[in-house]
């Protein structure tokens, strides 16, 4: 069984179906990308994994354990960390307080000093600005903070929803670089992205969702040469 395994997932909002028989798997140590147009169902899938949306049918297992039915707050304890679409920061709390909130599960709290030092090493800028309120950070700094907070819990799997959103090209490269460093540090990553080209360059495998269905999946180095991907997602 894969590290994260999703089988035949169906999700509805009222009577509108958002995910149709979605199956996907992630092996430990991979960077897997989830691509697709606006409204394709990417966020819905992440919300289903993290218990924020209850699927109508299908299964999700993480390290062999069923996730469906567990509350969202149980995810950090299981080793799954979620960076939601808007970053999910606490705007009126300081950089440091936001980071400490990421160490919320009781089992992590005692290690928070050590984790904080790790995050500050990865993101020196956050150390400089640790007393600043999150709402006064620049867009790029906010994304760094969101990423830093996501690793405060010492996760095994990180789910990043549009990490590169609103970032200048140089910061996009920086964010992707950071994803690679996390993976090299042993964290498995599921990446939802609109920056298709760069994502295909750093991820191992990708799934393409269209209208709630998996239309295409494969190794990134093959997808990047795929005629359909070139036309529909790379503008070539």
Ligand X SMILES: Nc1ncnc2c1ncn2[C@@H]1O[C@H](COP(=O)(O)OP(=O)(O)OP(=O)(O)O)[C@@H](O)[C@H]1O
Question: Cβ–Cβ contacts within 10 Å for residue 162, how many?
Answer: 20
Residue placing its CB nearer to ligand X in the complex, 18 or 187: 18
Smallest separation, CB 87 to Mg ion (Å) = 13
Footprint of Mg ion (CB under 5 A): 42-43
Residue placing its CB nearer to ligand X in the complex, 1 or 16: 16
Decide: is 15 part of the binding site for ligand X (CB under 6 A).
no
Decide: is 96 part of the binding site for ligand X (CB under 6 A).
no
Which SS3 state, helix, strand or coil, does residue 21 take? strand
81's CB contacts (< 8 A; 6+ apart) are 75, 102, 150, 151, 153, 155, 157, 158, 159
Tell me how many residues contact ligand X (CB under 6 A). Answer: 10
Question: Cβ–Cβ contacts within 10 Å for residue 92, how many?
Answer: 9
Smallest separation, CB 222 to ligand X (Å) = 23
User: Which range touches ligand X (CB under 6 A), out of 37-45, 115-123, 133-141, 145-153?
Assistant: 37-45
Report DSSP letters for 78-124, one per residue. HTEEEE-TT----TTSBHHHHHHHTT-SHHHHTTHHHHHHHHHHH-H
Smallest separation, CB 3 to ligand X (Å) = 23
Is residue 153 a contact partner of residue 104, using CB atoms and an 8 Å limit? yes
Smallest separation, CB 139 to ligand X (Å) = 17
- The 8-class DSSP code of residue 137 comes to S
Of 4, 30, 42, 176, the one binding ligand X by CB under 6 A:
42
Q: Give the one entry of ligand X, Mg ion, none that residue 9 binds, where binding means its C-beta sits below a cut-off of 5 to 8 angstroms depending on kind.
A: none
* Residue in 27, 82, 21 with CA at minimum distance from that of residue 55: 21
Question: Cβ–Cβ contacts within 10 Å for residue 44, how many?
Answer: 22
Q: Give the one entry of Mg ion, ligand X, none that residue 39 binds, where binding means its C-beta sits below a cut-off of 5 to 8 angstroms depending on kind.
A: ligand X
Q: Give the one entry of Mg ion, ligand X, none that residue 36 binds, where binding means its C-beta sits below a cut-off of 5 to 8 angstroms depending on kind.
A: ligand X
Q: Give the one entry of ligand X, Mg ion, none that residue 40 binds, where binding means its C-beta sits below a cut-off of 5 to 8 angstroms depending on kind.
A: ligand X
Binding interface with ligand X (CB under 6 A)? 13, 18, 36, 38-44
């Amino acid at each position: 069984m894969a590290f994260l395994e999703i089988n035949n997932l169906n999700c509805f909002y009222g009577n509108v179906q958002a995910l149709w028989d979605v199956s996907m798997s992630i092996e430990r140590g991979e960077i897997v990308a989830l691509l697709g147009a606006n409204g394709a169902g990417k966020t819905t899938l992440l919300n289903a994994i993290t218990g924020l949306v209850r699927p109508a049918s299908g299964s999700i297992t993480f390290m062999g354990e069923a996730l469906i039915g567990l509350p969202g707050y149980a995810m950090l304890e299981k080793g799954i960390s979620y960076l939601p679409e808007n970053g999910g920061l606490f705007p009126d709390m300081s950089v440091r307080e936001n980071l400490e909130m990421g160490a919320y599960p009781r089992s992590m709290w005692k290690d928070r000093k050590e984790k904080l030092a790790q995050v500050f090493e990865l993101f020196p800028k956050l150390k400089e600005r640790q007393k600043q309120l999150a709402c006064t950070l620049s867009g790029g700094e906010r994304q760094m903070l969101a990423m830093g907070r996501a690793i405060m819990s010492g996760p095994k799997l990180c789910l990043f929803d549009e990490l590169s959103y609103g970032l200048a090209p140089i910061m996009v490269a920086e964010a992707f670089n950071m994803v690679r460093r996390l993976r090299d540090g042993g964290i498995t990553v599921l990446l939802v992205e609109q920056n298709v080209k760069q994502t295909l360059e750093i991820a191992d495998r990708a799934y393409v969702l269209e209208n709630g269905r998996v239309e295409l999946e494969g190794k990134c180095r093959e997808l990047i040469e795929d005629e359909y991907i070139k036309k529909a997602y790379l503008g070539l």
